[in-house]
Structure 1
Amino acid sequence: MTQSLDGHERTTGAIRNLPIHVTSEIGELKTVLLKRPGRELENLTPDHLGRLLFDDIPHLPVIQKEHDYFAAVLRNRGIEVLYLEKLMEEVLAIPHLREQFVANVLEESKSNINGSYEKLRDYLLSFDNEQLVEAVMAGIRKTEIPHSKRTHLHEMIEDTYPFYLDPMPNLYFTRDPAAAIGDGLTINRMKEPARRRESLFMHYIITYHPRFAKHDIPVWSDREYRFSMEGGDELVLSKEVLAIGISERTTAQGIERLARNLFERSEFKKVIAIEIPKSRAFMHLDTVFTMVDYDKFTIHSAIQGSGGQMNIFELTRGADDITITKRTDLLETLKEALHLDHLVLIPCGGGDAIASAREQWSDGSNTLAIAPGVVVTYDRNYVSNELLRSHGIEVIEIGSSELSRGRGGPRCMSCPLVREDI
């Protein structure tokens, strides 16, 4: 049994009372971490979209309604939903952590550089825990500090950059800052400066929250490592095999370090590194490739070359160090890794040049499996959804007019913490 924040106990089958346990992409989902979109999205403006990694500005009341529906779909399937912001508030109830957390946030935000450190520290510490977490996530506008306390020239010029602290609008994509692998997780160094502070929340939660702190949870890769890696590139295919994208956001160096740590400290025996085009459209591996059943995957065919060829690298345990073998056939590589005679790659948009490009842009391949053969998808990707159904997959659709503006789908928006073994 595990205990949720509301005090209710829930059965977790063969999970051995662990707060983190993910040995596949498709095992029945038991506990998931979400972040409800908040005021950080209202701090997006056209002039600063690129800096904050957005293409458009979502309408907050609608995106919250869509996200609430997503959470309700999961709860209705018996899945425990935890919220990042709530866990962080509970962490800050521990004596001495408020000051430490604020100091870490301000240091990572480089507030000391512009001479605003002390006034921002005092401002944040004046809030209660809920307000403090919201302020850090939403960002702090210069207009929030009274004119009488603005003592530097850059603070007095109203038409310069409007924030002391940047907002974190990408936080509702909880998959990327940290991702569970086996009984541990990676706490990731994010590629882009706009997202780098995000993994600080999970560092605090894993280290100090009572739900996690009493367990010796392995961290396979930490946020201090200088080479980037993001959770959208990490796919747990089985208890022994991890697939990971070499992408715009995840480096080969980060993958190799992760593989070494997994081989030394876990049951994982193989890491399959899959190179995908390094572009915003193909941001992470899970935007072009996800597992939906024991023997079925979605795929965006544009990641494959002539004849389905790709650059694939298998990292395995060697006698003294890891062994790296190059492969080119994704289908055969997956069949061998999963010990399958037959495997199906279901093309996003049916493989049609227009439909596949359109639906991949709206995360048609970014499915969240909540059980073998049961996935949550965006309703707008109707071609891909019908194709999934034709292959025997149960498809649960959620609204996506505003959620999709952030360029991430149901898998991106969820960080599974506990799944049943398959």
Structure 2
Amino acid sequence: MTAELGADSEVGTLRTVMLHRPGDELRRLTPRNNDQLLFDALPWVARAQEEHDAFAELLRGRGVEVLLLADLLTEAMTVSGAARIQAISAAVNERRLGSALARDLSTHLRGVPASELTSVLTAGMTFDELLEAESGEPELGGASLVRRMHHGGDFVVEPLPNLLFTRDSSFWIGNQVAITSLALPARLRETTLTDLIYAFHPRFRGARRAYESRTAPVEGGDVLLLAPGVVAVGVGERTTPAGAEALARSLFDDGLAHTVLAVPIAQERASMHLDTVCTMVDTDAVVMYPNIAHTLSAFTIRREDATVSIRGADPFLEAAADAMGIGKLRVIDTGLDTVTAEREQWDDGNNTLALAPGVVVAYERNVETNARLEASGIEVLRISGSELGSGRGGPRCMSCPVARDSLL
């Protein structure tokens, strides 16, 4: 039985999730490009795949349907020529490649099987690989200065190693899906892939869009569904104030939220998203980096009749509890001392994925945080993340819930 699409919280029983199994895109990382591609280290890819497979199996073992992004993308492009055209158009950057090479590349990609095209779209393609692929084809195009001046190992199509973090490019709220706008150049093309999956894959036929932005950045890692109708949006390195406001107004217009909390967070890599410092672990509880627990603030945005009001900033925990209609939000912090807390926050101790109220998936290495969660009555399902974490993301970052049971 297929679960009904949508979610109204972070903790309703998880039924269906979209993951992306890491692949050859991670093998494209080198000491020369890993910073630009937003990785702090060069992952051991085979081990990262083993860790991800174990994550997916844990979810399946708990009754969660796991959809793999690459499979969905291949299936969408198999059933829809428009999906192929859209994908190729997004991958071929004429401004960077020039018209002659862009034309040749587009011609080549239009002729490859859907599964091979998926590989190129996710893992990228070098100039040498294009030349090798073209060797059996009729002579293409004309002279290209770009071809002559690039090294063979340079990318004619850029890889997407951060596609692993499926939370960021889309999220479901109510029975609608929001397509986000990613802030950094290395990730811009990710949303085109999720966009065409939702647009063309039969599984999502008829899915309504909650929000689409091609301008003001909003990333899914900054969006927490605190309770039905209550959304928190981190504003920092990745999501801008304009993005948070545009999202709030869109959710109000569609009746998907009555309150949006805009939460300023430090504009630094350690706290790139709100879910790197705070995630929901129960209907009334969060796991939170203690160094910010009492300084985090929020602007409360509400739709009142035909107008939108903005109040604050107020302490986040108080504003969240008030919006959620509860007396107090329980806080489980990460670590008894500042050094432990900082280490475990860096290692995604706060980035948990809830499978149901009071049941979360977490990296096993965050020993202190996990112990404190369990002492607070939270069931912790541990996974290894020594290689998966090299891109600065935990179980929540790596998962896009497509269907959760409603808390209403």
| TM-superposition CA deviations, 1:336-369 (whole Å, max 9, x none) | 122222332111223x211111111110000000
Could you tell me which residue of structure 1 aligns to residue 211 of structure 2? 221
Could you tell me which residue of structure 1 aligns to residue 226 of structure 2? 237
CA contact (8 A) 2:262 2:301 kept: yes
CA contact (8 A) 2:229 2:256 kept: yes
How far did residue 108 of structure 1 move? 5.1
| Equivalences for residues 330-349 of structure 1 within 5 A | 330-349=316-335
Tell me, yes or no, if structure 1 residue 126 matches structure 2 residue 111. yes
- Distance 1:166-1:353 versus aligned 2 partners, 3 A rule: same
- Distance 1:53-1:361 versus aligned 2 partners, 3 A rule: same
CA contact (8 A) 2:281 2:359 kept: yes
Task: Measure the CA separation in 1 of the matches of 2:345 and 2:99.
Answer: 41
Tell me, yes or no, if structure 1 residue 97 matches structure 2 residue 106. no
How far did residue 402 of structure 1 move? 0.2
Task: Measure the CA separation in 2 of the matches of 1:179 and 1:108.
Answer: 27
| Equivalences for residues 55-74 of structure 1 within 5 A | 55-74=40-59
| Equivalences for residues 12-27 of structure 1 within 5 A | 12=3, 18=4, 20-27=5-12
Task: Measure the CA separation in 2 of the matches of 1:160 and 1:108.
Answer: 18
How far did residue 129 of structure 1 move? 0.8
Query: Equivalent residue of 1:303, what SS?
Result: coil
Tell me, yes or no, if structure 1 residue 139 matches structure 2 residue 124. yes
- Distance 1:56-1:114 versus aligned 2 partners, 3 A rule: farther
**1:268 pairs with one of 234, 257, 266:** 257
CA contact (8 A) 1:91 1:97 kept: no
Tell me, yes or no, if structure 1 residue 409 matches structure 2 residue 401. no
How far did residue 133 of structure 1 move? 0.3
Task: Measure the CA separation in 2 of the matches of 1:326 and 1:355.
Answer: 32
CA contact (8 A) 2:227 2:283 kept: no
- Distance 1:28-1:126 versus aligned 2 partners, 3 A rule: same
CA contact (8 A) 1:49 1:56 kept: yes
Task: Measure the CA separation in 1 of the matches of 2:290 and 2:87.
Answer: 45
CA contact (8 A) 1:271 1:314 kept: yes
Could you tell me which residue of structure 2 aligns to residue 316 of structure 1? 302
Could you tell me which residue of structure 2 aligns to residue 192 of structure 1? 184
Could you tell me which residue of structure 2 aligns to residue 296 of structure 1? 285
- Distance 1:112-1:321 versus aligned 2 partners, 3 A rule: farther
How far did residue 110 of structure 1 move? 4.2
Query: Equivalent residue of 2:269, what SS?
Result: coil
Could you tell me which residue of structure 2 aligns to residue 8 of structure 1? none
Query: Equivalent residue of 1:82, what SS?
Result: strand
Query: Equivalent residue of 2:35, what SS?
Result: coil
How far did residue 200 of structure 1 move? 0.7
For 1:326, the aligned partner's letter is: G
Could you tell me which residue of structure 2 aligns to residue 7 of structure 1? none
- Distance 1:122-1:275 versus aligned 2 partners, 3 A rule: same
**1:171 pairs with one of 163, 167, 178:** 163
How far did residue 26 of structure 1 move? 0.4
For 2:194, the aligned partner's letter is: M
Could you tell me which residue of structure 1 aligns to residue 196 of structure 2? 204
Task: Measure the CA separation in 1 of the matches of 2:20 and 2:307.
Answer: 39
Task: Measure the CA separation in 1 of the matches of 2:267 and 2:94.
Answer: 27
For 1:289, the aligned partner's letter is: C
Task: Measure the CA separation in 1 of the matches of 2:91 and 2:326.
Answer: 50
Task: Measure the CA separation in 2 of the matches of 1:80 and 1:105.
Answer: 29
Query: Equivalent residue of 1:328, what SS?
Result: strand
Q: State the TM-score, normalizing by the size of structure 1.
A: 0.90
Query: Equivalent residue of 1:354, what SS?
Result: helix
Task: Measure the CA separation in 2 of the matches of 1:98 and 1:312.
Answer: 40
Task: Measure the CA separation in 1 of the matches of 2:52 and 2:313.
Answer: 39
Listed as ranges, the gaps of 5+ residues in structure 1 are 3-11, 13-17
**1:366 pairs with one of 351, 358, 369:** 351
How far did residue 301 of structure 1 move? 2.3
CA contact (8 A) 2:7 2:401 kept: yes
How far did residue 238 of structure 1 move? 1.4
Task: Measure the CA separation in 1 of the matches of 2:84 and 2:77.
Answer: 9
Task: Measure the CA separation in 1 of the matches of 2:370 and 2:150.
Answer: 48
CA contact (8 A) 1:98 1:125 kept: no
| TM-superposition CA deviations, 1:136-180 (whole Å, max 9, x none) | 110111111338879434423464871111110000100001111
CA contact (8 A) 2:173 2:256 kept: no
Larger CA deviation: 95-104 vs 202-211: 95-104
Task: Measure the CA separation in 2 of the matches of 1:244 and 1:98.
Answer: 31
Task: Measure the CA separation in 2 of the matches of 1:357 and 1:206.
Answer: 38
For 2:269, the aligned partner's letter is: R
CA contact (8 A) 1:106 1:117 kept: no
For 2:204, the aligned partner's letter is: F
Q: How many residues align?
A: 400
Larger CA deviation: 94-103 vs 188-197: 94-103
How far did residue 262 of structure 1 move? 1.1
How far did residue 114 of structure 1 move? 6.5
For 2:37, the aligned partner's letter is: L
Q: State the TM-score, normalizing by the size of structure 2.
A: 0.93
Query: Equivalent residue of 1:309, what SS?
Result: coil
**1:387 pairs with one of 363, 372, 393:** 372
Task: Measure the CA separation in 2 of the matches of 1:124 and 1:69.
Answer: 33
For 2:289, the aligned partner's letter is: H
